């Protein structure tokens, strides 16, 4: 009888071990740091706690190391990351010049099984790099359950229509097209609501708004809409 109990216990342990491994793999979260404006240590520490996979995209590796953390890997064309003084750092040199270091990092995260991803350091510094990173946000949006650029001012992500989210009252919020136009845009729960308008660069935007009611709801018929939620520690 004891033998049967032991076999049952071993099988049970094996089952639950496999179950939680599959569950963990199904909801794998990646953290990437790029070479834009680096996050504060507090923001990085908050995200490291949640990350199953930590990737330094070229010079983003220095941000991890500078704060005393070791990423799982540093990758890219490595024109900025100097790793000769750092031991036990996994480094992957990828010379493909048709993709950016962020593209390489996002593809790596997907190959490792990541289903969601937060990117720090994607914005700020060189505007050409920032614009290309926003292009990558569009390219990879549908390949993750959640893909968010975050800094100490807030979060930037693409929204699908219809969109609904509970956001604290008085939070700064902005909406802007990142690829062409956003047609038939409708917003509610914000100070300056819009009804069936076309968001177009240089003609009509919807930035620097304020949440007045929750949830905030958005609808649009076509286009790529980015949302910025200003809930970071440096937002005024």
User: Which regions of the chain does DSSP assign to beta strands (E)?
Assistant: 28-33, 53-57, 73-76, 91-93, 114-120, 146-150, 155-159, 163-165, 172-188, 197-199, 206-210, 216-219, 222-230
State the residue for tokens 């342990």. Answer: 13
Q: What is the pTM of this model?
A: 0.87
- pLDDT of 157-172, one tens digit each? 999 999 999 999 999 9
Question: What does each C-alpha distance from 208 to 67, 85, 116, 171, 205 come to in angstroms?
Answer: 32, 44, 27, 10, 10
Name the more confident of 80 and 198: 198
Same domain, 93 and 188: no
Task: Tell which residue, 188, 166, 193, 183, has the closest CA to residue 225.
Answer: 183
Q: Which of 152, 180, 198 is a domain's end point?
A: 152
Using CA atoms, how far apart are residues 222 and 196, in angstroms rounded to an integer? 12
Look at residue 127 and tell me if it is in a domain. yes
Q: What are phi and psi of 138, to 5 degrees?
A: -65, -45
Same domain, 201 and 120: no
DSSP structural state of residue 235: -
> 181 pairs with which residues across the strands?
none
Q: Which of 134, 152, 170 is a domain's end point?
A: 152
- pLDDT of 210-231, one tens digit each? 999 999 999 999 999 999 999 9
Q: Which of 94, 127, 152 is a domain's end point?
A: 152
Q: Is the dihedral of CA 50, 178, 76, 104 positive or negative?
A: positive
Q: Which domain holds residue 57?
A: 28-152
User: Rounded mean pLDDT of 25-43?
Assistant: 93
Contact by Cβ (8 Å): 28, 54: no
Same domain, 148 and 163: no
* Neighbour tally for 160: CB within 10 Å: 11
Q: Which of 15-24, 36-45, 91-100, 128-137 has the lowest mean pLDDT?
A: 15-24
Q: What's 164's domain CATH number?
A: 2.60.120.320
User: Rounded mean pLDDT of 38-60?
Assistant: 96
């Amino acid at each position: 009888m004891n033998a049967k109990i032991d076999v049952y216990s071993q099988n049970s342990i094996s089952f639950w071990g496999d179950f939680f491994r599959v569950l963990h793999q199904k909801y794998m979260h990646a953290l990437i740091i790029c070479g834009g404006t680096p996050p504060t240590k507090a923001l990085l520490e908050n995200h490291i706690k949640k990350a199953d996979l930590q990737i330094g995209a070229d010079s983003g590796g220095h941000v991890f190391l500078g704060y005393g953390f070791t990423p799982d890997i540093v990758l890219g064309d490595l024109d900025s990351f100097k790793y000769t003084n750092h031991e036990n750092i996994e480094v992957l040199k990828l010379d493909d010049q048709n993709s950016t270091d962020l593209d390489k990092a996002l593809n790596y995260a997907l190959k490792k099984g990541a289903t969601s991803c937060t990117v720090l350091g994607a914005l700020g510094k060189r505007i050409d790099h920032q614009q290309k990173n926003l292009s990558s946000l569009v390219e990879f949006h549908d390949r993750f359950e959640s893909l968010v650029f975050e800094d100490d001012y807030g979060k930037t992500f693409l929204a699908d229509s219809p969109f609904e989210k509970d956001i604290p009252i008085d939070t700064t919020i902005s909406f802007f097209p990142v690829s062409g136009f956003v047609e038939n845009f409708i917003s509610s729960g914000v100070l300056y609501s819009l009804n069936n308008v076309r968001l177009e660069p240089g003609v009509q935007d919807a930035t620097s708004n304020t949440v007045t009611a929750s949830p905030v709801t958005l609808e649009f018929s076509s286009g790529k809409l980015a949302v910025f939620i200003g809930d970071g520690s440096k937002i005024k």
